[in-house]
Chains A and B, each alone.
Chain A
């Protein structure tokens, strides 16, 4: 049972990773990061139920993660909007300030 959950989480994580690395739109990149985060959450819940030592800590920790992720997305979106205003684009290829 555990392995199917883990498999779903792994697939989810890979999709998120793929999106974060490949997609050009910054919003979609942000969404992809959320996908990866949720893959982790799924793992936490799965282990708290079917792990070697089942306990409620995993599920509680997941709630914390979701809360923190919400805050993070809020900040991320804010930065993205500021960037969009400054550069006039959401294409991540054009965000190459690190080069200079």
Chain B
């Protein structure tokens, strides 16, 4: 039961913070130094995180918590501390590993960018906030880092701020996630209000809700759980608030890999996993989570089929996979959700970095303008293929095991959602094969000057590919290591595995085969659907018109209201204020004119005053 490294866990977020401060201080001068500082900072965190994880994998669940008193108000006390549980130890490694690889990758991808050191400082700040979020030991400090992460996302999506699309996407990402954040904030306030002793730390939340001793009323529990889930919806791009995530692809590709695929969007899933006891205390909330997750999974997967932008396809795929995780959590499988989060982080980061490598080579994001890149970019093609297979759920790649865990739970708990999950898995396999075949096979298009990316970009791809192959073996139907370790109970991870495995493999293979038929062999014409049902193709391509609907029913009225209020402020309020100010100035001007130093004028005014006084005194006698 050694806790040596866990005691030092507070250092993990401080390395990137130090890197951020150094980069901030050094300005834009040192380009190479900036890369080195950022990479070393995240490498140090990675090493320490791995040590912490190894320590936690040792005998039994070591748990460590420490902190200092932050707020002390009478009976209410709040610590600002950190907490190392098995879940957070796992997340630490995921975040730091992806962050480090993205740091290395960006050295190649962003090499020609003028503001590369600014870019690195943003990444360091993001890594710091994300690690802080993972380590936070109470809701309030979690919220604090939650918002910091949102700010970093805003900064990085809008990194190329000269592009109007990037600016709009950054604003959209920020505002849409704010809606979710408001829900989370209300949930925290409700927790503060209803928890005994106003406790906000996870340990006591767990204790109160685990036994459901009636300390918090059932209705309130449901409300809190749903509001926390609203926060998770915003951050993790679940159905009603998913619109920001595909637009966020305007940011640099390494950022899409780090923030919008592997880590930040997983924060919502992590939050639900962290406060899982609250959800478990409320069946209604669990059902909401499961159904919204399942709907998002299939909804985003169908959109992914019709997109043409390589990064947008991956973005919708991310939304869909996050839906899977939410569905798993909603069905009560903490292991399934976290396991899929873990494997997804690696293969989705791999896919995004691979996409970045392709974009770097061909300078377009439209998959219809690519083709035949497989022979020119062998490493990218191979690693991307591994990622695609992992995402499609083909054994023995990582995605298969985690998806299998989720589907097995779904079959056990709710057959309807199982069917939804299987259909979504089919679509996933189909759009991934479409993407892969269109990009890497067929005739070369464009100027044909595509070439393999530099080593700094391909090495992270290879490392991630190794994880995409191997990360799934920590939890298989025969070997419940992860679930045992994570939940502390030797639960039968998923029974009835055989059937599920066969079905999910078959569905994945069918999706890929269909993709191969359509996009390579040409047995089925590509426009087989779009020629027969053009409305369907357009519906998918326009993403079910969600953006247009929001524009019409939310954005326009709000903007109109804003303009009205602005006009009132500008003309009415400002008018009154400047009228009062103007009057004072006018009176002052008149006053200075009176004081001209001429005794005669003073005398005249005195006489006038006297006359008025006399008229007043004498006149009263006549009127009254």
User: With an 8 A cutoff between CB atoms, is B598 at the interface?
Assistant: yes
| Interface mask (A15-37 → B, CB under 8 Å = 1, otherwise 0) | 00100111000000100000000
Residues of chain B contacted by A93 (CB below 8 angstroms): 598
Interface size on B, residues (CB 8 A): 9
The residue that A22 contacts in the complex, of B595, B597, B600, with Cβ under 8 A, is B600
The residue that B607 contacts in the complex, of A21, A92, A95, A99, with Cβ under 8 A, is A21
Give CA–CA (A17, B604) in the complex, Å.
Answer: 9
Residues of chain B contacted by A21 (CB below 8 angstroms): 600, 603-604, 607
Taking a contact as CB atoms under 8 Å apart, the answer to whether B596 and A96 are in contact is yes
User: With an 8 A cutoff between CB atoms, is A85 at the interface?
Assistant: no
Residues of chain A contacted by B604 (CB below 8 angstroms): 21
| Interface mask (A60-100 → B, CB under 8 Å = 1, otherwise 0) | 00000000000000000000000000000000110111111
Residues of chain B contacted by A17 (CB below 8 angstroms): 607
User: With an 8 A cutoff between CB atoms, is B599 at the interface?
Assistant: yes
Taking a contact as CB atoms under 8 Å apart, the answer to whether A92 and B600 are in contact is yes
Taking a contact as CB atoms under 8 Å apart, the answer to whether A96 and B598 are in contact is yes
Residues of chain A contacted by B597 (CB below 8 angstroms): 95-100
Residues of chain A contacted by B596 (CB below 8 angstroms): 96, 99
Residues of chain A contacted by B607 (CB below 8 angstroms): 17, 21
Q: Which residue of A lies closest to B604 (CB)?
A: A21
Would you give the shortest CB distance from A91 to chain B, in whole angstroms?
11
Give CA–CA (A52, B603) in the complex, Å.
Answer: 33
Would you give the shortest CB distance from B565 to chain A, in whole angstroms?
48
Would you give the shortest CB distance from A6 to chain B, in whole angstroms?
16
Give CA–CA (A27, B32) in the complex, Å.
Answer: 89
Give CA–CA (A99, B593) in the complex, Å.
Answer: 11
Taking a contact as CB atoms under 8 Å apart, the answer to whether A92 and B603 are in contact is no
Taking a contact as CB atoms under 8 Å apart, the answer to whether B599 and A95 are in contact is yes
Taking a contact as CB atoms under 8 Å apart, the answer to whether B600 and A98 are in contact is no
Q: Which residue of A lies closest to B600 (CB)?
A: A21
| Interface mask (B236-250 → A, CB under 8 Å = 1, otherwise 0) | 000000000000000
Within 8 A of A (CB), among B401-432: none
The listed residue with most A CB atoms (<10 A of its CB), out of B596, B597, B607, is B597
The residue that B595 contacts in the complex, of A92, A97, A99, with Cβ under 8 A, is A99
Would you give the shortest CB distance from A61 to chain B, in whole angstroms?
24
Would you give the shortest CB distance from B612 to chain A, in whole angstroms?
16
Residues of chain B contacted by A99 (CB below 8 angstroms): 595-597
Q: Which residue of B lies closest to A23 (CB)?
A: B600
Within 8 A of A (CB), among B570-624: 595-600, 603-604, 607
Residues of chain A contacted by B599 (CB below 8 angstroms): 92, 95, 98
Give CA–CA (A92, B602) in the complex, Å.
Answer: 13
Give CA–CA (A93, B599) in the complex, Å.
Answer: 9
Q: Which residue of B lies closest to A99 (CB)?
A: B597
Would you give the shortest CB distance from B600 to chain A, in whole angstroms?
5
Give CA–CA (A99, B598) in the complex, Å.
Answer: 8
Would you give the shortest CB distance from B593 to chain A, in whole angstroms?
11
Give CA–CA (A29, B596) in the complex, Å.
Answer: 19
Residues of chain A contacted by B603 (CB below 8 angstroms): 20-21
Would you give the shortest CB distance from A76 to chain B, in whole angstroms?
13
| Interface mask (B442-469 → A, CB under 8 Å = 1, otherwise 0) | 0000000000000000000000000000
Give CA–CA (A4, B599) in the complex, Å.
Answer: 33
Residues of chain B contacted by A97 (CB below 8 angstroms): 597
Give CA–CA (A21, B603) in the complex, Å.
Answer: 7
Q: Which residue of A lies closest to B606 (CB)?
A: A21
Residues of chain B contacted by A95 (CB below 8 angstroms): 597, 599
Residues of chain B contacted by A22 (CB below 8 angstroms): 600
| Interface mask (B321-365 → A, CB under 8 Å = 1, otherwise 0) | 000000000000000000000000000000000000000000000
Q: Which residue of B lies closest to A100 (CB)?
A: B597
Give CA–CA (A20, B606) in the complex, Å.
Answer: 13
Would you give the shortest CB distance from B551 to chain A, in whole angstroms?
65
Would you give the shortest CB distance from B160 to chain A, in whole angstroms?
62
Residues of chain B contacted by A29 (CB below 8 angstroms): 600
Residues of chain B contacted by A98 (CB below 8 angstroms): 597, 599
Would you give the shortest CB distance from A90 to chain B, in whole angstroms?
14
Would you give the shortest CB distance from A59 to chain B, in whole angstroms?
28
Would you give the shortest CB distance from A22 to chain B, in whole angstroms?
7
Residues of chain B contacted by A96 (CB below 8 angstroms): 596-598
Residues of chain A contacted by B595 (CB below 8 angstroms): 99
Give CA–CA (A81, B599) in the complex, Å.
Answer: 18
Give CA–CA (A97, B598) in the complex, Å.
Answer: 8
Would you give the shortest CB distance from B38 to chain A, in whole angstroms?
66
Residues of chain A contacted by B600 (CB below 8 angstroms): 20-22, 29, 92
The listed residue with most B CB atoms (<10 A of its CB), out of A21, A95, A100, is A21
Give CA–CA (A100, B595) in the complex, Å.
Answer: 10
Q: Which residue of B lies closest to A95 (CB)?
A: B599
Give CA–CA (A98, B597) in the complex, Å.
Answer: 5
Give CA–CA (A8, B597) in the complex, Å.
Answer: 33
Would you give the shortest CB distance from A3 to chain B, in whole angstroms?
18
Q: Which residue of B lies closest to A97 (CB)?
A: B597
Give CA–CA (A16, B604) in the complex, Å.
Answer: 13
Would you give the shortest CB distance from A40 to chain B, in whole angstroms?
16
Give CA–CA (A96, B600) in the complex, Å.
Answer: 10
Give CA–CA (A96, B604) in the complex, Å.
Answer: 15
Give CA–CA (A35, B131) in the complex, Å.
Answer: 96
Given contacts A20-B603, A21-B603, A99-B596, 12 further A-B contacts (CB under 8 A): A20-B600, A21-B600, A21-B607, A92-B598, A92-B599, A92-B600, A93-B598, A95-B597, A96-B596, A99-B595, A99-B597, A100-B597
Residues of B within 8 A of A (CB): 595-600, 603-604, 607
Q: Which 6 A-B pairs have the closest CB atoms?
A: A99-B597, A96-B597, A98-B597, A21-B604, A21-B600, A21-B603
Name 5 interchain pairs, CB-CB below 8 A, sorted by A. A17-B607, A21-B603, A22-B600, A29-B600, A100-B597
Residues of A within 8 A of B (CB): 17, 20-22, 29, 92-93, 95-100
